[in-house]
Amino acid sequence: MKTNLPHEVVLDLLPGYIEHLNHPETDALVQAHLNACPSCAQTYARMAHEMDSPPEHAHEIDYLKKIRRRGRWKVAGAALLAIVLVFGSFGFWTYGIGKMAPTRSLRYFLYVSEPCVVIDGSMLNESETVKGVQWKQDGSTLVATIRTVPKRTDASSTFHSQYSPSAPVETVVVNGRVAWENGEKIEQSTSRLYDLRTPGGDDLEKIRQIVAFDGAIQDFDVAFEAGTVSIETPEDVDATAMKAASQRLLALVQVAHTVRWNDRVSYRCSDFLEGDKLKEAYDHPLVLQQALQSGQANRTIAYAWDDPAIEMVELRLWNGDELRKRFGTTSAGQSKVPLEDGPVTIGVRAKKEGEWHDFGTRKLELDPDTYSVLVEVKANGFDVQGGGIQ
């Protein structure tokens, strides 16, 4: 240990040495110096005596008090700095960066059309507002991240963002969920179902959620063994609901090849799509969506307009009181929609100069011979061709 401290250093350390404020190793160095230096030892004895006696020399005692106060201020300052950093960091991330919004708190419409991809939407959670939309392209996959912050009084609950891809886009992911794939919009209900997929049969909770996804079957027990999902229900289940649940299970439980109900009815992949094509739904939500719609009557809905002031068009289609599809587009085209025979309602909105205009609804009657419907959007309304117009 080094003991030859300079006299000036020892004199500076003496107040802390007397008050036991120094580190033990520092005190040991000071003690070693005092043992070898009579001059410093005398100074130490005088300072120690003055601290125990009436303050004849107040300036030296004041010096010790200053040291104590400095120590306290340093500790308080460090604590205050830590508090400022913690709350500053919290405020920066909460209000400056924001968090990725859960998709269940968003209502958005995605438009993928050359030369840009557009997201329009609003927040369902009234206490938050959208901070911004971040875009990132990786090859043919485009990822959009919608971030939210606590809402201020003057903040808007709606948002709009667009991006011009550097290469052709095959897949668009919005906040962790596939929203568009190979030219078709993935419905949010399909995305929620797709999130339940599981590679094995050991996650029985996910299997239960897949069975109960549409709410048609609620009371049941489930087991999995050797690729077979076995489901026991206390009473007979509607055949349509049973078949739909089996299709979901075979598509989303990767190792499942059979679904058996009450040891009486069984389903395999080939009962829904040719061969094992249904298994492709595990990797592609579009295949899942097409499989779910395969048992429904799909009609072709074509749409067009010649008003150059129209920037976007949104179509809504109801079968009776059930909303079957809602989508938007920036150019003319067509879409397959699962519409059954009977009454159908079509609603149209158009966007001009950044503002949406509601063009109302039209009703028509679909019969088995109606395979397509044309929606022609005008400057202030729209016409429908196909089906029985009401």
Is residue 57 a part of any domain in this protein?
Answer: no
Is residue 1 a part of any domain in this protein?
Answer: no
| Whole-number Cα distances in Å, 384 to 1, 316, 376, 379 | 96, 13, 6, 14
Residues 48 and 108 in one domain: no
- Is the C-alpha dihedral spanning 217, 223, 228, 231 positive or negative? negative
User: 325 versus 209: which is more confidently predicted?
Assistant: 209
The answer, yes or no, to whether residue 103 has pLDDT greater than 60, is yes
Residues 121 and 174 in one domain: yes
| Whole-number Cα distances in Å, 352 to 309, 312, 356 | 6, 8, 6
pLDDT in tens, 201-250: 899 999 999 999 888 888 899 999 999 999 999 887 778 888 889 999 99
The answer, yes or no, to whether residue 127 has pLDDT greater than 80, is no
Residues 44 and 68 in one domain: no
State residue 52's pLDDT score. 62
Residues 214 and 277 in one domain: yes
The answer, yes or no, to whether residue 389 has pLDDT greater than 60, is no
341 Cβ neighbours under 8 A, 6+ residues apart:
297, 366, 367, 368
Residue range(s) defining the domain that contains residue 126: 99-182
Q: Which of 182, 205, 237 is the last residue before a domain boundary?
A: 182
CATH code where residue 307 lies: 2.60.40.180
State residue 217's pLDDT score. 87
State residue 307's pLDDT score. 87
Top mean-pLDDT range of 272-281, 329-338, 363-372: 272-281
Is residue 33 a part of any domain in this protein?
Answer: yes
Is residue 119 a part of any domain in this protein?
Answer: yes
Judged by average pLDDT, the poorest of 27-31, 124-128, 249-253, 367-371 is 124-128
Q: Is the peptide bond before 168 cis (omega within 30 degrees of 0)?
A: no
Residues 348 and 382 in one domain: yes
Residues 167 and 178 in one domain: yes
The pTM for the full model equals 0.54
State residue 259's pLDDT score. 95
Judged by average pLDDT, the poorest of 113-117, 131-135, 241-245 is 113-117
Residues 324 and 376 in one domain: yes
Residues 106 and 88 in one domain: no
State residue 248's pLDDT score. 94
State residue 225's pLDDT score. 93
Percent of the chain's residues with pLDDT above 90: 23
- Would you call 142 exposed, middle or buried from its count of C-beta atoms within 10 A (0-12, 13-18, 19+)? buried
Residues 281 and 304 in one domain: no
Residues 121 and 163 in one domain: yes
| Spatial contact of 322 and 281, defined as CB atoms under 8 Å apart | no
Top mean-pLDDT range of 23-32, 115-124, 372-381: 372-381
Mean pLDDT of 251-278: 91
Q: Which of 18, 33, 52 is the last residue before a domain boundary?
A: 52
Mean pLDDT of 337-357: 88
State residue 199's pLDDT score. 93
Mean pLDDT of 317-337: 80
Residues 92 and 103 in one domain: no
Question: Cα–Cα distance between 118 and 134 in angstroms, integer?
Answer: 12
State residue 110's pLDDT score. 83
Mean pLDDT of 293-313: 82
State residue 56's pLDDT score. 47
Judged by average pLDDT, the poorest of 10-19, 23-32, 83-92, 277-286 is 83-92
Is residue 115 a part of any domain in this protein?
Answer: yes
Residues 283 and 315 in one domain: no
Judged by average pLDDT, the poorest of 102-106, 192-196, 230-234 is 102-106
| Spatial contact of 335 and 348, defined as CB atoms under 8 Å apart | no
Q: What is the domain count for the chain?
A: 5
Q: Which of 247, 263, 293 is the last residue before a domain boundary?
A: 293
Is residue 2 a part of any domain in this protein?
Answer: no
